[in-house]
Structure 1
Amino acid sequence: MNAQPAAPATHPFTLRLALGLVGVLIAALTSGLNDRVTDLALADVRAAIGFSYDRATWITSAYQAAEVAAMMVAPWFAVTFSLRRFALAVAFGFALAGILQPFAATPGLFIGLRVIQGLFGGALPPLLMTVALRFLPPGIKLYGLSAYALTATFGPNVAASLAAFWTDAVGWQFVFWQIVPPLLLAGVLIGWGLPQDPLRLERFKQIDLFGMLTGCSGVALMVLTLSQGERLDWLQSPLITGMLCASIALLVAFLINEWSHPLPLFKLQLLQRKNLTHGLLVLAGVLLVALSGSALPSAYFAQVEGFRTVQFAPLALAIGLPQLLIAPFMAFLLNLRWIDCRWMLTCGAALLSVSCLMGAQLTDDWARQNFWLIQLLQAFGQPMLILPVLMSATSVILPPEGPYASAMFNTVRGFSSVAAGSLVENFLTHREKFHSHTLVDQLGNRPWLMTAANSADASAMKPLLPDGSASSAENLGHFATLLKHQAVILSISDAYLLLIGFALLLVLLTAWLPKRVWPPQTLIQTQTKAVR
């Protein structure tokens, strides 16, 4: 017997159900905040628990690996145990792991708890898309997808302020305990608002155990490879080489298995629908381009200006907070029949390209006020990219196929976030080294600069040094600092230009999608008129 998912029972959209969906939204946002806040506060956490820098990097890597792995299997278990039961269990486990985290006495136990919390946390975002696709009526479906988009636009940009508040004003333990109040609220809303589906334990007769083992292991090893590769010198490290080869082999086996399994985690045949394939590709690119509004400004202020997180957090808030209004407004526009989502996506890519072009003019004279317009363009451009992608991709998904789409979409999203961060970080590192070597070579070709650097004559150093130093050692120290800052600035400028290229690539991918997608409620109205 083939246990393909049956059409889920229909439920009228009431205030009670709406509050249940709000509970799932709160839980999903809390999961994203936990990941990002912990990452930003890692230096303070590491100092408090006595971890070395190298060991502390595994705190983030282990969490991210477990998180992405859980995204692959969460929709399957949600259908099997019911959305409400599974969401409540996952939210409770996520909160409990956060409560216990600061009490971990050994490094192994600390990282182990992060892995457990990553498994619970990674299971929450897929549930948000699943409930949006299943319960929302056509007229407000796009507003539900805009709520899902907040997990990519609102949460990551609010995290900087929260990380600074907990570590500077309260205590590092609250980096982990902050999740408890919102999860308690989410649990109450989910338990009261979501309908209770029956158990479908018969699905275990066709459980895709081989796919779960190969897929989750493969993607987890790939995440660890990307997050630890630069620190361990990539293929020069036997550990990185082994993880990379194992992950490729496991993922190939996973994809082969998914194509023929009767009840897979990923229904790869759905990729024959061009809209879904386009959505997955563009989503990966959007997550990369969006780093121009977070990673690049924070890199400048941290490395050049020496700012702490709390000092550049307002720039991130300039993107995050407006999403509470901008995302629903974009959903409203997409609900208008005369607005083509392909054109909105193109306009979003154009806004991000303009913001990156402005960022590429970065100099050492820039302060926070130079970034406000850039961040404003980011605040509008990011939802203008993400919402059309969600609208286009989900338009070809039937309700029984929602769990498949959710698993694929969220796994791509989770993995792409890690891959994008790794790409930008490694690009900045290598370009900084390149510019440092170039500047030093130019210095060697100008002997008068070397003479000035070794001279105590302050007037000779004024073009290069911030003030007249009393000794050649101080002069050389100032000069080395200026060289490093200039190399960092040039590398960030290069990164802005790189991301412009990816933004333009998104436009080309959209041109490859000739079929227009109509708003859900207007499509229903058209079909109704045709029947009449």
Structure 2
Amino acid sequence: MNAVPAPAPHPFTLRLALGMVGVLIAAMTSGLNDRVTDLALADVRAAIGFSYDSATWITSAWQAAEVSAMMVAPWFAVTFSLRRFALVMTFGFAATGLLQPFAPTPGLFVTLRVVQGLFGGALPPLLMTVALRFLPPPFKLYGLAAYALTATFGPNMAASLAAFWTDSVGWQFVFWQVIPPSLVAGLLIGWGIPQDPLRLARFQQIDLFGMLTGCSGMALLILALGQGERLDWLNSPLIAAMLLAAAALLVVFFINEWFHPVPLFKMQMLARRNLSHGLLVLAGVLLVALSGSALPSAWFAQVGGFRSAQFAPLALTIGLPQLLIAPLLAALLNLRWIDCRWMLTVGAMLIGLSCLMGMQLTDEWSRQNFWLIQTLQAFGQPMLILPVLMSATSVVLPPEGPYASAMFNTVRGFSSVAAGSLVENFLTHREKFHSHRLVDQLGNRPWSITADNAASAGPLSPLLPDGSVSSVENLGHFAMLVKHQAVILSISDGYLLIIGFALLLVLLTAWLPKRVYPPQTLLQHPIQAPGKLS
């Protein structure tokens, strides 16, 4: 049996547009829940009585379930109908959020988090699916801009929400916050998204082996990334076993996908250069975007001693402008004479410039020093993401939308976890390196250093307390200053790492993708139709 062909296109009406808004709300709510819970984890852990080690499994379990759901959601959406599947996932997501604070045991708490991760992970792929299927060519880039908001707007709003719930209302609302928007999203989806017929005949060719191997391998890999640093990586038999099993399962999964008649991933599509480039660059963009969130928040938390509420205004500097910047960039990309590859390059340059500025940070910085950096990030991040989406989806035909959605969202979900793990572990190891280096430098100098000769102490001079480090009462203060300086140097190294990845994105863009044009201009220039690109 061949794959069921795509349904006939529906006319784009206000009702359909509102249904798509419902899918957007559901997808953004899922992303917010993930980030808000992560930021509020310390307060949640204290309230439910989890130890630090146990609480780390809350985040890891959600991430593993979320990415696993992203792999299979498009297949089930086609089989059960997009509207029916979206409604079940949206209301299931809200119901588990309602029950989460009432979990009486740690095991049940994590189990509910896994279930909610499955519901929540299924929602972002549906947003790309509806954008590729329902939007007419003149509006397609605006739909992709809406999808980009889930990566730029939602995560940067999370700090404000996490601070508000934990500081002003109650930790339970970290989970209950998803209920009102999910109900609104469900109403809009049920009213606006057309109802397709059930396609239960697809179960005759279900890629069950691919689902089992792919989801299991991805889940194990994400769990290993989330717990690896805490358990000392390959020195832990558990981490070593998870990595080995994940590698074996994923290799088998990719081989199976190549030959399966109705796969989850259509691997043959990777022969199209623009799609391969899009997946590679998407992974890099998610890492580069951490320069606007993870690095400043590390400085605020470890050097400035700030809470999330004090960092939230800076995060809003990136998040709120996206409501205007994203559609503006979509309008620019709809102009035939604008090459999306150049926009991506400019975006990488803006991110690189913000990182160069960030490398100059010191312990005397305050929130005001980050405003310009975050403003550059606010423009640079969507200028990276939107061209990637435009270029990659230009070579995807409408019947291939579910395949593209599954691949894109799986890469996005996994890369987000991997990028966060990479940056976090990089900062940890660089902090240890700089701390040891500073202490070694101190050991090689006479203990008679005072304020009078501090000028000759080189990089140690900022570490000197009020005149001398030899007195016992100053040792605690001095140790704190050493730690602060090591953190600052590690964050500066982190900015340098991001610059390197931004340059890599530019090189990949110069080498891999072909020039693409706005979707509506393909009607006048059929030679550039997506099916002709490879």
Same fold (TM over 0.5): yes
- 1:254 maps to 253
1:523 Cα offset (Å): 1.4
Matched, 1:377 2:376: yes
The one-letter code of the counterpart of 1:197 is D
The one-letter code of the counterpart of 1:11 is H
Deviations 1:423-450 (A, max 9, x none): 0000000000000010000000102357
- 2:308 maps to 309
- 1:187 maps to 186
SS at match of 1:362: coil
Deviations 1:195-215 (A, max 9, x none): 000000000000000000000
- 1:350 maps to 349
C-alpha separation in 1, matches of 2:432 and 2:172: 36
1:314 Cα offset (Å): 0.7
The one-letter code of the counterpart of 1:384 is M
C-alpha separation in 2, matches of 1:317 and 1:483: 31
C-alpha separation in 2, matches of 1:65 and 1:529: 39
C-alpha separation in 2, matches of 1:462 and 1:488: 16
Does the 8 A contact of 1:342 with 1:510 survive in 2? yes
Deviations 1:167-207 (A, max 9, x none): 00000000000000000000000000000000000000000
- 2:214 maps to 215
Does the 8 A contact of 2:447 with 2:469 survive in 1? no
C-alpha separation in 2, matches of 1:466 and 1:309: 29
- 1:492 maps to 491
- 2:407 maps to 408
- 1:524 maps to 523
1:526 Cα offset (Å): 2.6
Does the 8 A contact of 2:12 with 2:136 survive in 1? yes
* Cα gap change, 1:172 to 1:350, in 2 (>3 Å): same
- 1:457 maps to none
The one-letter code of the counterpart of 2:228 is G
- State the aligned residue count: 521
SS at match of 2:229: coil
C-alpha separation in 2, matches of 1:285 and 1:470: 44
C-alpha separation in 1, matches of 2:407 and 2:462: 55
1:472 Cα offset (Å): 3.2
Does the 8 A contact of 2:86 with 2:126 survive in 1? yes
- 2:500 maps to 501
- 1:53 maps to 52
- 1:287 maps to 286
Does the 8 A contact of 1:126 with 1:410 survive in 2? yes
Does the 8 A contact of 2:469 with 2:478 survive in 1? no
SS at match of 2:502: helix
Alignment of 1:332-371 (within 5 A): 332-371=331-370
Alignment of 1:41-190 (within 5 A): 41-190=40-189
SS at match of 1:112: helix
1:36 Cα offset (Å): 0.2
SS at match of 1:448: coil
C-alpha separation in 1, matches of 2:471 and 2:265: 64
Does the 8 A contact of 2:450 with 2:469 survive in 1? no
C-alpha separation in 1, matches of 2:241 and 2:472: 46
The one-letter code of the counterpart of 1:336 is L
- 2:28 maps to 29
The one-letter code of the counterpart of 1:317 is L
| Structure 2 stretches lacking a partner, 5+ long | 452-459, 530-534
SS at match of 2:447: helix
| Structure 1 stretches lacking a partner, 5+ long | 453-460
* Cα gap change, 1:222 to 1:493, in 2 (>3 Å): same
1:473 Cα offset (Å): 3.2
What TM-score results when the alignment is normalised by the length of structure 2? 0.95
Does the 8 A contact of 1:27 with 1:91 survive in 2? yes
* Cα gap change, 1:297 to 1:441, in 2 (>3 Å): same
* Cα gap change, 1:470 to 1:201, in 2 (>3 Å): closer
- 1:447 maps to 446
SS at match of 1:447: coil
C-alpha separation in 1, matches of 2:279 and 2:165: 35
Deviations 1:269-303 (A, max 9, x none): 00000000000000000000000000000000000
* Cα gap change, 1:471 to 1:356, in 2 (>3 Å): closer
SS at match of 2:216: helix
Deviations 1:72-129 (A, max 9, x none): 0000000000000000000011000000000000000000000000000000000000
- 2:6 maps to 7
C-alpha separation in 1, matches of 2:5 and 2:292: 42
C-alpha separation in 2, matches of 1:304 and 1:502: 26
- 1:429 maps to 428
Does the 8 A contact of 2:82 with 2:196 survive in 1? yes
Does the 8 A contact of 1:66 with 1:122 survive in 2? yes
C-alpha separation in 2, matches of 1:62 and 1:462: 45
Does the 8 A contact of 1:462 with 1:468 survive in 2? no
Does the 8 A contact of 2:225 with 2:418 survive in 1? yes
Does the 8 A contact of 1:444 with 1:450 survive in 2? no
**Mean CA deviation greater in 514-523 or 374-383:** 514-523
The one-letter code of the counterpart of 2:234 is L
1:529 Cα offset (Å): 13
**Mean CA deviation greater in 411-420 or 6-15:** 6-15
